[in-house]
Amino acid sequence: MAVDAEQATRVVEVVVGDGSEAGHERNFLRSVHDSRLDLAHLGKRPPRSPHLRWGPLDAGLCWGMPPAGEVRFELRPATAADRDRLYALHRAAMRDVVDRTWGWDEPWQHAHFNARFDPAAFSLIVAGGREVGALCVQERAGELYVAAVEVAPEEQGRGLGTAVLRDVIARAATIGAAVTLQVLKANVRAQRLYERLGFYATGEVDVHVRMRHDAGAAPTHP
């Protein structure tokens, strides 16, 4: 998903069981913030790239690299009508880890989600004809930032989160970009997944670990 310079992007970091979690502040949705790409150093808007267009025509193919367990998926751009579904996915995937880390405040979470919701930043993960997760990738200078990956609890453990992340890594490689993300220190399972995929820690912020997959580094297989 490419992000235009003038487009405010909703940056969220989450847990998916077999995927990622993170956030910048006290609560999951407190980690949500509107940001704009700093393109001053480019002097112009970045060119459109077909490699960053996550959509049903090419998603799930992993650019020739088979997903774990032959998991097949598509990514459908989200619309305003998907708000409730995306919040339900967020709550189902995130509630346990947020509750263990900070405590879950349902009224605050719901209100803040609605106030900050930006459908342009998300794609829905579709598998078996059902919407089972969400992905948000933000294009930054020289990298793709995995801002959100959520998989419904009943779909976790099948390798879907792994397949989605491998797809992001493969697409990043086609444009020479690194892949970055953040994960809660408490989410050891997610950290181990990232390490298997070739990510390594680059630092810590508050209760989070920053991780990076270098441009062109081959994704590993568990």
Q: How confident is the model at residue 10 (pLDDT cuts 50, 70, 90)?
A: very low
Q: How far apart are CA 90 and CA 215, in angstroms?
A: 29
Q: Is residue 154 part of a domain?
A: yes
| pLDDT above 70 (res 91) | yes
| Bridge partner residues of 60 (DSSP) | none
DSSP run (H or E) holding 168: helix 160-174
What domain range is 99 assigned to? 9-38+48-213
30 falls within a domain: yes
In a domain, 3, yes or no: no
**Per-residue pLDDT at 153:** 92
Give the length of the chain.
Answer: 222
Q: How confident is the model at residue 217 (pLDDT cuts 50, 70, 90)?
A: confident
* 13 has a pLDDT exceeding 70: no
pLDDT, residue 205, reads 92
Mean pLDDT over 10-14 rounds to 32
Q: Is residue 91 part of a domain?
A: yes
Residue 141: CATH number of its domain? 3.40.630.30
The answer to the question of residue 1 being in a domain is no
Other C-beta atoms lying within 10 Å of the C-beta of residue 35:
14
What is the identity of the amino acid at 96?
Answer: D
On the question of pLDDT at 219 being above 80, the answer is no
With respect to residue 85, please indicate whether it lies within any of the assigned structural domains.
Answer: yes
Q: Does 4 reside within a domain?
A: no
Total number of domains in the chain: 1
109: confidence class by pLDDT, cuts 50, 70, 90: confident
Q: Number of C-alpha atoms within 13 angstroms, CB side, residue 69?
A: 12
pLDDT for the residue numbered 37: 28
Residue 57 has pLDDT above 80, yes or no: no
pLDDT tens for each residue of 116-154: 788 887 899 999 999 999 988 888 888 999 978 889 999
Instruction: Give the best-scoring range by mean pLDDT among 9-13, 49-53, 95-99, 169-173.
Output: 169-173
Look up the pTM and report it.
0.67
Condensed to tens digits (0 to 9), the pLDDT of residues 153-203 reads 999 889 999 999 999 999 999 999 999 999 888 888 888 999 999 999 999
Does residue 160 fall inside a structural domain? Answer: yes
3-class SS of residue 37: coil
The residue written with tokens 């790239």 in the block is: 49
Q: State mean pLDDT over 34-60.
A: 33
Candidates 180, 190, 183, 181; CA nearest to 215 is: 180
Q: What is the average pLDDT value for the chain, to the nearest integer?
A: 72
Picking from 15-29, 30-44, 165-179, which range would have the lowest pLDDT averaged per residue?
30-44
- pLDDT at position 176: 94
Contacts 24+ apart (CB under 8 A), 91-99: 92/152, 92/153, 93/14, 93/15, 93/16, 93/17, 93/133, 93/150, 93/151, 93/152, 93/153, 94/14, 94/15, 94/21, 94/28, 94/150, 97/15, 97/21, 97/184, 97/186, 97/187, 98/27, 98/28
Greater confidence (53 vs 81) lies with 81
**Interatomic CA distance for residues 50 and 162, integer angstroms:** 22
